[in-house]
A = this chain, B = another copy of it.
Amino acid sequence: PHCWTSCAGSSLTSSLRWSLRSVRESSTRSPSSWRREYWLKMEESVSMEMDNNVMDKEEGCYDSTEAAFSDDEEEVNNKGKKREFRFHPIKEAVVEEPADITPWLDQLDDTMKEKVQQLQKTSDTETQCEVMQEVVDLIMEEDFDPEQMSALASCLAELFKDHFRGDVLPDDITDESLEESVSKPVCLIFRNLVTMQEDNSGFSVLLDMLAEFYQKQPKIGYHLLYYLKASKAANGKMMLYESFAQATALGDLHTCLMMDMKACQEDDVRLLCYLTPSIYSEFPDETLRSGELLNMIVAVIDSTQLQELMCHVMMGNLVMFRKDSVLNILIQSLDWETFEQYSTWQLFLAHSVPLETIIPILQHLKYKEHPEALSCLLLQLRREKPSEEMVKMVLSRPCHHDDQFTTSILRHWASKHDDTLGEHIKAQLIKNNNQPRKRQR
């Protein structure tokens, strides 16, 4: 018998995740009841991870008898079409273990060790913040021994492991909820870095501390990005992330950013969408040149998130395509899953990139292989008055006897722009025939 496993994420086709998302979409309509979806393992060898918006990652394998099926009749009647798979939550198999920092405590200086133990004993957030600030102050003192950096990072990562479970973004986004979400003890490291001058001697030590923390707990990378966006104290200091990236073992802004966005994509899609506008505007050279980040985004967003991103684009908050690289990215997208492609074209069309810029993509579009791109382009081309370049590109597509794209668009143009089309086609034929003009005597 097959084991019920939590799954989704990158190993499933994007289309299956879309199904999961659209089912989840409808199933989370009544926030009071919490539901999860389980997918039966399709193949033993494919490893699957659960999209954390639905389930906590620590849950492992369940025996199929534990899953409880239910038919919630009233919900089925109400828009029954959209509520086809629903399950009641089953008991969490995760047992909360108290933080164990003994392996590293003895590697700390006495003063630091004492503070860390104090931190361990404190349970309320406010006192934890106070003690954490004292830890940070110790780090920045001149006599702080950098040898203990790694052990200290391990202690903190272990003590604050709960911080890295669950969603980062508050359910309801308001100024208050955002401020509260960035007032956790871990965030004190960020706050100190953000309020300090970079030439302060403590700055680089604290940054090294953060880089060390990153080794133990990679999620702190996107937590930093979130802090820089969400916190009023951080206002406009997104460049701190660049300093951080350079301080890490990766040492490179682009690599670090892509890794952190990937981790964010796997853990928290809402957060990914929340961060997207700032990431693109603060780091254009790291994001606009390739389809890497775009692919991460379109692989996981649902229709509502897509529509929200499109609104951001139209309001000018978000630019995902640049004239010099857009054609290249769209060509890359031709290898992606169906929904990733449709989402890409929707996002592209929300920008005001002139059609001429991407017209050369026509030469790459093969019948049956690229129906998504062909459909979207068909709808755009039909609205345009045909230019010579467009006609040339349309006529230069690979031929296939069942392929009606070329006939459709030419016929449509013929019905509306008869003369113009005729001229362009004539020009193309002349060029193709390459006949030298006879001189008039």
Contacts and interface: CB of A to CB of B under 8 A. Distances in A.
Contacts of A43: 69, 85
Interface stretch (A221-229, A240-248, A253-261, A404-412): A404-412
Interface string A402-441: 1011011101100000000000000000000000000000
Contact of A19 (B11, B15, B85, B371): B15
Contacts of A213: none
Contacts of A90: none
B405 A336 contact: no
A2 interface: yes
Contacts of A316: 411
A345 to B, nearest CB: 10
Contacts of A335: 79, 81
Contacts of A337: 22, 81-82
Interface string A292-334: 0000000000111011101110111000000000000000000
Nearest to A17: B19
Contact of A336 (B23, B44, B81): B81
Interface stretch (A116-124, A127-135, A142-150, A376-384): A376-384
A379 B408 contact: no
B404 A303 contact: no
A64 interface: yes
A198 interface: no
A372 B23 CA distance: 15
Contacts of A15: 15, 18-19, 22-23
B342 A408 contact: no
Contacts of A71: 45
B407 A22 contact: no
Given A22-B338, A412-B314, A2 B64 contact: yes
Interface in A36-56: 40, 42-46
A342 B343 CA distance: 11
Contacts of A336: 81
A79 B369 CA distance: 12
B379 A350 contact: yes
Contacts of A2: 1-2, 40, 64
A306 B373 CA distance: 12
A375 interface: yes
Contacts of A382: 314, 350
Contact of A84 (B13, B338, B368, B409): B13
Given A69-B43, A408-B315, A375 B22 contact: no
Interface string A84-96: 1100000000000
A379 B349 contact: yes
27 contacts: A1-B1, A1-B64, A11-B84, A12-B84, A13-B19, A13-B23, A15-B19, A18-B18, A18-B338, A22-B337, A22-B338, A40-B40, A42-B85, A45-B71, A79-B335, A173-B402, A302-B371, A304-B371, A311-B404, A311-B405, A312-B404, A314-B382, A314-B408, A314-B411, A314-B412, A350-B379, A383-B383
Interface of A: 1-2, 11-13, 15-16, 18-19, 22-23, 40, 42-46, 64, 69, 71, 79, 81-82, 84-85, 173, 302-304, 306-308, 310-312, 314-316, 335-338, 342, 346, 349-350, 368, 371-372, 374-375, 378-379, 382-383, 402, 404-405, 407-409, 411-412
Given A81-B336, A311-B404, 19 more contacts: A13-B85, A22-B337, A22-B338, A46-B84, A81-B335, A82-B337, A302-B371, A303-B371, A304-B368, A307-B371, A307-B372, A308-B404, A310-B375, A311-B405, A314-B378, A314-B409, A314-B411, A346-B375, A350-B379
